[in-house]
Chains A and B, each alone.
Chain A
Amino acid sequence: MEQAQMSMLQQALDVVEKLSPEDQETLVELIWRRLVERRRAEIAQNAADTLQAVREGQARYGAVENLISGLDILKSVQYVVNQKGKPAAVQIDLEVWESLLDWLEDLDDRALVQVVLPRLRMGPEKAGALLWDEVKAEWEVPGSEIAR
């Protein structure tokens, strides 16, 4: 940290030291809330970009670190604060949650396709795929008459 910044920080601490314990607690809470608001604004901007990318199919598939980063910037993240005013949990819009599930399913399905690629290249006959017409009767649920 620069010398000038250290000096300003020390001055600020000196001022804070002169406040009553109650005022110091209030000040801490105010600063904390402002930091949270600033962070939320950053999250909203990043999330708007991410959601747009997901909707346009431009989202990149990557490592877990990248996924966590993507989760972290979702647009509608709202903090649930505890009695001390500190964030204790988050909630997101249902629409965003569903988009997120779509995204996770895309990742899951992509991984699945990678696994079955050798079989797809072999073709169904060589790969030993079953003919539906020969096994579909085994899919019947006894006593189940559900309207379509």
Chain B
Amino acid sequence: MTRRTLLIEPEVHRARKYLPGNVRQRVKWAIESLAEEPRIPDSRSLDVTALDVPPHVELRRLQINRWRIVYAVNDNEHWVWVLAIRRRPPYSYEDLEELIGKLE
């Protein structure tokens, strides 16, 4: 199987420090696995109907517990591009202090 080039948005890379340690590890492993198999069972294609997405680009979402990775796959150019990491609502605000710290 062709190994794809993995890419990541600079903003997502910067945000890693705000992920809980165990989540960061799991996300890291998940991103690694996308190079071999970008369509693993826990992932699914996003509905981008009526959006002008470039040809050969598929938008997908991978669920990891209460978190998800949004990424793009291009089979023609053999890359996977991590676009965002989001937390599933509702938010517990257990990281409220951290969030406030970011605002200061």
Determine whether the beta carbon of B6 is less than 8 Å from that of A141: no
Determine whether the beta carbon of B10 is less than 8 Å from that of A132: no
User: Using Cβ atoms and an 8 Å threshold, which residues of chain B touch A117?
Assistant: 51-53
Q: Tell me if A148 counts as interface (CB < 8 A to partner B).
A: yes
Q: Tell me if A133 counts as interface (CB < 8 A to partner B).
A: yes
Q: Tell me if A138 counts as interface (CB < 8 A to partner B).
A: yes
Determine whether the beta carbon of B16 is less than 8 Å from that of A138: yes
Q: Give the distance in Å from the alpha carbon of A120 to the alpha carbon of B57 in the complex.
A: 8
**Nearest 4 CB-CB pairings of A with B:** A132-B6, A129-B7, A141-B21, A139-B28
What class of interface size applies to chain B in its complex with A? 35 or more
Q: Tell me if A135 counts as interface (CB < 8 A to partner B).
A: yes
- CB interface residues, B 4-56, toward A, < 8 Å: 5-10, 13, 16, 21-22, 24-29, 31-32, 35, 46-48, 51-54
Determine whether the beta carbon of A105 is less than 8 Å from that of B88: yes
Q: Give the distance in Å from the alpha carbon of A113 to the alpha carbon of B72 in the complex.
A: 10
Q: Give the distance in Å from the alpha carbon of A108 to the alpha carbon of B61 in the complex.
A: 11
What class of interface size applies to chain A in its complex with B? 20 to 34
- Which residue, A116, A128, A132, A135, has most C-beta atoms of chain B within 10 A? A132
User: Using Cβ atoms and an 8 Å threshold, which residues of chain A touch B21?
Assistant: 141, 144
Q: Which residue of A is nearest B66, CB measured?
A: A101
User: Using Cβ atoms and an 8 Å threshold, which residues of chain B touch A57?
Assistant: 47
* A135-B13 contact given A57-B47, A109-B70, A113-B53, CB 8 Å threshold: yes
Chain A residues at the B interface, C-beta cutoff of 8 Å:
57, 101, 104-106, 108-110, 112-114, 116-117, 119-121, 123-124, 128-133, 135-136, 138-141, 144, 146, 148
Q: Give the distance in Å from the alpha carbon of A117 to the alpha carbon of B70 in the complex.
A: 13
Q: Give the distance in Å from the alpha carbon of A124 to the alpha carbon of B5 in the complex.
A: 11
* A121-B84 contact given A106-B46, A113-B59, A141-B25, CB 8 Å threshold: no
User: Using Cβ atoms and an 8 Å threshold, which residues of chain B touch A109?
Assistant: 46, 59, 61, 70, 86
Q: Give the Cβ gap from A137 to chain B, nearest Cβ, in Å.
A: 10
Choose among B25, B27, B47 the residue that contacts A144 (Cβ–Cβ < 8 A).
B25
Residue pairs across A and B with Cβ atoms less than 8 A apart, 24 shown, are A57-B47, A101-B89, A110-B47, A110-B48, A110-B51, A112-B70, A113-B70, A120-B54, A120-B72, A123-B77, A124-B7, A130-B9, A130-B10, A131-B5, A131-B7, A132-B8, A136-B28, A136-B31, A140-B28, A141-B25, A144-B21, A144-B22, A146-B22, A146-B26
